[in-house]
Structure 1
């Protein structure tokens, strides 16, 4: 049976925007609350446009505890071309992060993606759950995400995983450099010839400038298979392009 990704509206969702750092609001009993907001010229994740190359407004909130446990919510507009009948992405996540010695940091948790009003081919709204574990050291981080169920309604895709590495460098005077590369592996996706088409590499390289808490950014973003997701008007959603952003933490 033919299985192709090109006709499936599957994406992942988390911003690639680098946000400013701000002191969280102390709530007492070890809890603190922080937030972030951004405007981006094109919402990309894992190389692919989620907004059909149009701007997005993104807002998130994080509740953390001194023990290392945290809960959060992040939201962005998306294109209903990618998620039929849907125009909003809502992410809910929780986990634990902290130092584990030797300068290393550990982050483990779960992330739930939800698209209210969308029309999934499996009935109901599009949604997805990822389990993740991440390691960080100095300016570098490595993260592994695993999907225990079908990946965004893609048939027989249980066990899909994604591995990505990111580096953030402080260049001084408010300037920063961010580099990212990831490898996506979608299970059991083959073309008519039986060749595996369920994998690709995405990449990002950008610079940021902190202006009194407002972080301006520009980055080159793309994917090795630029038409892996559905395209509109003949423009591959994963083509190499520039993404501009303005972000602030609060």
Structure 2
């Protein structure tokens, strides 16, 4: 596992270097004048997503690489180490999407996501799944640079072939000072049945749960420093569903 993590770290830095060179070439080539590239490399004290830790409380290193077209179309790759006890220590996701700016205060987004766990145990039920989403974002509503977002996610066959999964998510970001922001997010997750919920969360007493995140960040010279609290009402007998305070550093390029 340690070797795989090391390879992942090296790969993320390689992606960043290649992207930087590519960005310079884009500026020099009229063929690619309508495209732009961006990316991030992050260190987190825990990879906590949608109400539970995907690294069993251990730190994570993550990276993204994104290509945007002036039309609003984009493609993105996300990579992270993970510890889900499925034989794979890497999550590798691919996204295709479209951003449509209605006006200076309202944006729409549609996206397709392909979530993968390379090297997962083939004797287990398939952990990979696809997901579709649509989002609406209001910008500069109460003050300059604030953002209110509503997103709906749909997976026709979720993790471990547990059927349909629906997620409703709302978030709000509010700037409190120059380079300082505070934010809050809440999500509601609905599964196909009590049996599906039991496969994922070891109890058939529920078929849905909520999760939330509250925190803030500071931006300095393309670095983002985040500190936030996360929790959910997933089965609390599961240690990876405990609440947590998480710190992260993200470098944008």
The alpha-carbon deviation at position 98 of structure 1 amounts to 1.7
Inter-partner Cα distance in structure 2 for 1:129 and 1:166? 23
The alpha-carbon deviation at position 171 of structure 1 amounts to 1.4
Inter-partner Cα distance in structure 1 for 2:44 and 2:101? 32
The residue number in structure 1 matching 2:144 is: none
The residue number in structure 1 matching 2:113 is: 111
The residue number in structure 2 matching 1:217 is: 226
The residue number in structure 1 matching 2:133 is: 132
Q: Deviations over 1:77-125 (max 9, x none)?
A: 001xx242110000100011121247211100200000001125555x5
The answer to whether the 8 A contact 2:51-2:234 is kept is: no
The residue number in structure 1 matching 2:75 is: 71
The answer to whether the 8 A contact 2:86-2:124 is kept is: no
The residue number in structure 1 matching 2:3 is: none
Inter-partner Cα distance in structure 2 for 1:217 and 1:206? 7
The residue number in structure 2 matching 1:88 is: 90
* Greater helix share, structure number: 2
1:201 to 2:210 alignment: yes
The alpha-carbon deviation at position 126 of structure 1 amounts to 2.3
The answer to whether the 8 A contact 1:94-1:111 is kept is: yes
Over aligned residue pairs, what C-alpha RMSD do you find?
2.2
2:100 to 98, 101, 105: 98
The answer to whether the 8 A contact 1:84-1:120 is kept is: no
Show structure 1 runs of 5+ residues with no match: 1-22
The residue number in structure 2 matching 1:4 is: none
- TM-aligned CA distance change 1:65 to 1:184, over 3 Å: same
- 4+ residue stretches of structure 1 with deviation over 3 A? 23-26, 120-123
The residue number in structure 2 matching 1:48 is: 52
- TM-aligned CA distance change 1:74 to 1:46, over 3 Å: same
**SS of alignment partner, residue 237 of structure 1:** helix
1:147 to 155, 159, 169: 155
Residue correspondence of structure 1 range 2-13 to structure 2 within 5 A: none
Q: Deviations over 1:181-219 (max 9, x none)?
A: 00000111247xx96512100000001111222111110
TM-score of the aligned structures, taking structure 2 as reference length = 0.78
How many residue pairs were aligned?
Answer: 214
The answer to whether the 8 A contact 1:61-1:74 is kept is: yes
The alpha-carbon deviation at position 154 of structure 1 amounts to 3.6
Show structure 2 runs of 5+ residues with no match: 1-19, 27-31, 140-146
The residue number in structure 2 matching 1:183 is: 188
